[in-house]
Structure 1
Amino acid sequence: MGRDRISELPNALLSQILLHLPSKESVKTSVLSKRWEYVWLKVPGLDLKFTDFPFWGEVFESFMDKLFKFNQGRMQKFKLKYEHIINTCSHRFVDWIATAVDRETQHLDVESEMAPCPRDIMPQNMYKSKTLVSLKLAHVALENPELVVSLPCLKTIHLEHVWYGWYNDQDGLLIVEKLISGCPVLEELTVVRSHDDEDTLPLLRVRSQSLQILHLMFDWGMLSTDFSVEIDAPRLGYLRFRDSQSEMSVVKNLSSLFKIDIDSEFNVKFGITALEPEDITKTKRDTIRDFLNGISIVRHMIISQATLEVLYLYSKLGPIPKFHNLYHLQAAFSSSILQLLPAFLESCPNLTNLILDFSVSTEAEQIDMTNTPPQCLTSTLECVEINKLIMKEETGVKLVNYFLRILQYSRNFL
Structure 2
Amino acid sequence: MDEAISHQSQARTHLSFRNSINRVFALQSGLPTKKLSLKYHIEEDSEIAYVCPWICYAVEQGVLELKVTIKMTHSQLSLPCELFTSKTLVKLTLGTGINLAKLPPDVSLPALKKEDLCNVLLSGCPVLEELFVRHEDYIGSPFYISNKIIKKLSVHYDYESEFDITMPCMSFDAPSLVSLDYSDLALSEYPQVNLESLVKARLDICYSNMIERPDVSSLVTGISNVETLHLSPASSDVISRCVGHGLLLPLFDNLVNLSFGSKNKRGWKLLPYLLRQSPKLETLIIQDLNAYTDDVSLPPNQMKVLHILGYRRTAQELEQLKSLLTEFECIEFVQVDVSEEDDGIILQATKDLMMLPGVSVSSKCHIKITHCAS
Q: TM-score, normalised by structure 1?
A: 0.68
Mapping for residues 26-37 of structure 1, pairs under 5 Å: none
SS in 2 for 1:318: coil
* Offset at residue 65 of structure 1 (A): 4.1
Counterparts of 2:321 and 2:17 in 1: how far apart (Å)? 63
Shift of 1:129: 0.7
Question: Does the C-alpha gap of structure 1 residues 343 and 52 become closer, same or farther in structure 2, counting only changes over 3 Å?
Answer: farther
**2:154 aligns to what SS in structure 1?**
strand
Q: CA deviation at 1:84?
A: 0.6
Which residue identity does 2:219 align to in structure 1?
Answer: F
For residues 11-90 of structure 1, the aligned pairs below 5 Å read 55-57=13-15, 60-70=17-27, 71-85=29-43, 89-90=47-48
Q: Matches of 2:160 and 2:287 in 1, distance apart?
A: 23
| 1:256-295 matched pairs, under 5 angstroms | 256-265=197-206, 268-269=207-208, 280=213, 284-285=214-215, 288-295=216-223
Q: What's the counterpart of residue 105 of structure 2?
A: 147
Q: Does 1:215 align with 2:145?
A: no
CA change 1:330–1:100 in 2 (3 A) is same
CA–CA separation in structure 2 for the residues paired with 1:336 and 1:115: 45
Select the residue among 55, 79, 82 that pairs with 1:122. Answer: 79
Amino acid at match of 1:383: V
**What is the percent sequence identity of the aligned residues?**
25
Equivalent residues of 2:110, 2:124 under 8 A apart: yes
Gaps of 5+ in 1: 1-50, 165-175
Is the Cα–Cα contact under 8 Å of residues 301 and 329 in structure 1 kept in the other structure?
A: yes
Cα displacement (A) at 1:104: 1.8
Counterpart position of 1:230: 171
Could you tell me which residue of structure 1 aligns to residue 134 of structure 2?
192
Partner Cα separation in structure 1 for residue 314 and residue 147 of structure 2: 51
State how far apart, in whole Å, the 1-side matches of 2:312 and 2:35 are.
Answer: 49
- Provide the residue aligned with 1:9 in structure 2: none
Please tell me the residue identity of whatever aligns with 2:131.
L
Structure 2 unaligned blocks of 5 or more:
1-8, 333-361, 363-374
The 1:235–1:115 alpha-carbon spacing in structure 2 relative to 1, beyond 3 Å, is farther
**CA spacing shift, 1:408–1:246, aligned 2, 3 Å:** closer
Assess, with a 3 A threshold, how the Cα gap between structure 1 residues 400 and 125 changes in structure 2: closer, same or farther: same
Please tell me the residue identity of whatever aligns with 2:323. Answer: Y
Aligned to 1:297: 225
C-alpha separation between the residues in 1 aligned to 2:330 and 2:18? 72
**Is the 1:226–1:247 contact (alpha carbons within 8 Å) kept by the matching residues of 2?**
no
CA–CA separation in structure 2 for the residues paired with 1:245 and 1:251:
15
Q: Which has the higher helix share?
A: 1
Cα shift at 1:62: 4.6
User: How large is the RMSD of aligned CA atoms in angstroms?
Assistant: 3.1
- 1:323 counterpart letter in structure 2: F
